[in-house]
Amino acid sequence: MRKELDEELCKKYPKIFRDRHGDMRSTAMCWGFDCGDGWYNILDKMCAIIQGHINNTRAQRVRALLFNRALGKAMRGDMSSYNRLYWYQKKEIDERLKDPEPQCEQVPRACPQVIATQVKEKFGTLRFYYWGGDEYCSGVESMAESMSAVTCEVCGSPGMLRHGGWIRALCDEHAKEAGYEEEQK
């Protein structure tokens, strides 16, 4: 991938690519993005969705914890947190406090931050190796890998996996330039 695209991804997603220039004994990201420019948009969207999910799960956790803390104080007679934080839900809160044992909000688990350890092409598709995340992040990564199989790794146009020596995802134009035989569709 071109240097400017590499830098753009690292700038947009500093948490995911925090090890971009890390030690080769702990990450393969020290060698950069080992794939074509055509997959930039796939990587960009995948990272945006994953980081958005991580940020959202953490925000939901904070909201639930704040609510439960305010509920505990209200049960002890201190309504200041409720009046300050939940004034727009006054009727709902008053109803909840009428219950002899009001229910706390379930506190969701925060999704661990995804840290990329390697980004490369393998067998014609994008591979994004990482640690952290959850099942949702794994599903997004899997979808990105699937999209790369039908996206030209050179230009980003619709393409297909081409066989002949190396397996590559290429559009018709770049397949012809690379010397791949016309395949039957």
34-46 pLDDT per residue, tens: 999 999 999 999 9
pLDDT tens digits, one per residue of 124-172 = 999 999 999 999 999 999 999 999 999 999 999 999 999 988 999 999 9
pTM confidence score: 0.86
- Return d(Cα 166, Cα 70) in angstroms, integer: 60
Q: Is the Cβ–Cβ distance between 144 and 46 less than 8 Å?
A: yes
Q: How many domains does the chain have?
A: 2
Do 113 and 175 share a domain, yes or no? no
Do 86 and 175 share a domain, yes or no? no
Q: For all residues of the chain together, what is the average pLDDT? A: 91
Give the ranges where the chain is alpha helix by DSSP (H): 3-12, 40-75, 80-85, 90-98, 135-148, 172-177
- Return d(Cα 27, Cα 116) in angstroms, integer: 8
Do 67 and 13 share a domain, yes or no? yes
The predicted model gives 44-52 an average pLDDT of 98
State the residue range of the domain holding 64: 1-149
Residue-level pLDDT at 101: 77
Checking if the pLDDT of 173 tops 90, the result is yes
pLDDT band at 80 (very low <50, low <70, confident <90, very high): confident
- Return d(Cα 149, Cα 152) in angstroms, integer: 8
- Return d(Cα 89, Cα 98) in angstroms, integer: 14
Residue-level pLDDT at 183: 58
% pLDDT > 70, the chain: 95
Do 141 and 184 share a domain, yes or no? no
Checking if the pLDDT of 83 tops 90, the result is no
Do 144 and 161 share a domain, yes or no? no
The predicted model gives 78-84 an average pLDDT of 78
Do 169 and 144 share a domain, yes or no? no
Do 131 and 171 share a domain, yes or no? no
Checking if the pLDDT of 76 tops 90, the result is no
Do 158 and 140 share a domain, yes or no? no
% pLDDT > 90, the chain: 71
Do 48 and 101 share a domain, yes or no? yes
The predicted model gives 78-100 an average pLDDT of 74
What does the buried/exposed string (b/e) look like for 53-84 if buried means 16 or more CB atoms within 10 Å of the residue's CB?
Answer: bbeebeebeeeeeebeebbeebeeeeeebbee
Do 66 and 145 share a domain, yes or no? yes
- Return d(Cα 144, Cα 161) in angstroms, integer: 15
Please, what is the Cα angle at 106 between 57 and 100, to 5 degrees?
155
Place of tokens 């945006």: 48
Do 54 and 107 share a domain, yes or no? yes
Do 116 and 27 share a domain, yes or no? yes
